[in-house]
Chain A
Amino acid sequence: MAATVTTTATTGKTWDGGNEPMAASYGKLMMWFFIVSDALTFSGFLAAYGFSRFKFIGTWPIADEVFTHFPFMHGVDAPMYYVALMTFILIFSSVTMVLAVDAGHKLQKTKVAVYMLLTIVGGLIFVGSQAWEWKNFISGEYGAVESKGGSVLQFVKLGEDGNYERVALEDFAAHLPTERQEKRKSNGIWFESAPALPEYTVEEIAEGLKAHPEVVIKTETITKEKTKEILSREASLAKISDFGMVVKGANLEHNEYGHKLFADFFFFITGFHGFHVFSGVCFNILIFFNVVLGTYEKRRSYEMVEKVGLYWHFVDLVWVFVFTFFYLV
């Protein structure tokens, strides 16, 4: 293959790249250089995640309790199924990619094009799924209260099956008549907009908690049973004086699921990975058009498909680790 790819005049001259001690072409080696350095970047992120998690090991969110959504199954507690599905989609798109590379070795143009197209579709579905996952994570489902110290207090009640289940804020919050005005630039209050007001005030949550004897507070603390600590009714009421603000969903500063760093790392690592998938889809589209136009057919070599394939498999490889460390461990 090297003979067909390296067509420059330098072929054969040892110090001009004619020699291939690793039996891999220049382009492929450079792709491996990139992959190794990018792998170390992701390792750095995941190791930083591990560092923060070990630092707050007693209060870190439990992933099963955070990612519980599945499309068209609203309100059903479905931990992990969705992310498992995403993993399958990405592994499968890796399979179609490697099938494209395989067909490329045999110079089967149509087959390469079809498999490339399937890979692109798989990548797009994955990016879309990630967007949906982000949407759920950002908008939140139940809401919680952040204490004055910054820890998150969630609300639960004893369900029919004997386990505690989350209670949404709107299910128990009291409605107090208050004068609340959202300060916006457009109403000329001030030249800066105030932060958006949450749906409920802290007072409304406090009154609601007093009025609903079945509702108690779940704190961030992980007990010896490896579940989140659930306060008694008295202790829950005592926490009212500590209520700082109402949070719903997650952003870079507040996070209803637990520790703020969890949301920060989630956005940063899955975002960076999603960006890689997006770039990969763009490269794949470019290569797909080259395949269809017959560029590689003329070259009698589909090595470009192989190179972009390496990148695509790397994206899959990273996801395998993100999946383990964010959702399983």
Chain B
Amino acid sequence: MAHTHESNTKRIWFVFALLSVVTIVEVFLGIIKPDALYKTDLFRLNLLNWIFIILTVFKAYYIMWAFMHLEGEKSSLRWSIVAPLVFLIIYLVFILLVEGNYIFDVFAQSHYKWIF
């Protein structure tokens, strides 16, 4: 059996504390929006947004691994779940964001005028 049936209570509370702290940090950053992060861009996205996205993935990892108990599953099951999601989501987001950005550039720089 992949699971152990011993109690995981300690681990659960640890993950809860971790997720809470990360959420508090996110909200804190979101409210004060430090200029140094908010107004510095890296790959056309500001540092603050990069931090938010990284922290979100961090939270997602802990929810899936600890709460959904992927850490106790066989690695074949873990990979069948995570690999398609990671690949398809990155692929979709990449395509759509590049396209959206392109349309923005067309309206901003060419003769076409977005009237709305």
Contacts and interface: CB of A to CB of B under 8 A. Distances in A.
A50 B96 contact: yes
B115 A51 contact: no
B34 interface: no
A186 interface: no
A53 B68 contact: no
Contacts of A92: 16
A35 B2 CA distance: 21
Contact of B116 (A57, A149, A310): A149
A95 B16 contact: yes
A55 B116 contact: no
B104 to A, nearest CB: 5
A88 B20 contact: yes
Given A51-B96, A226-B39, A23 B84 contact: no
Nearest to A151: B116
Contacts of B30: 64, 79-80, 327-328
Contacts of A150: 115-116
Interface string B24-62: 101100110100001100000000010011011001100
Given A43-B92, A50-B96, A99-B12, A57 B56 contact: no
B81 to A, nearest CB: 6
Contacts of A55: 100-101, 103-104
Contacts of B85: 36, 39-40, 43
Contacts of B76: 21-22
* A interface SS class: helix
A235 interface: no
Contacts, number: 153
Interface residues of B, number: 56
Interface residues on A, range: 35 or more
Contact of A91 (B19, B97, B116): B19
A36 B73 contact: no
B73 A22 contact: yes
A273 to B, nearest CB: 15
Interface string A71-107: 0000000011100100110011011011101100110
Interface of A: 1-2, 21-24, 29, 32, 35-36, 39-40, 43-44, 47-48, 50-58, 64, 79-81, 84, 87-88, 91-92, 94-95, 97-99, 101-102, 105-106, 149-151, 226, 306, 309-310, 313-314, 316-317, 320-321, 323-324, 327-329
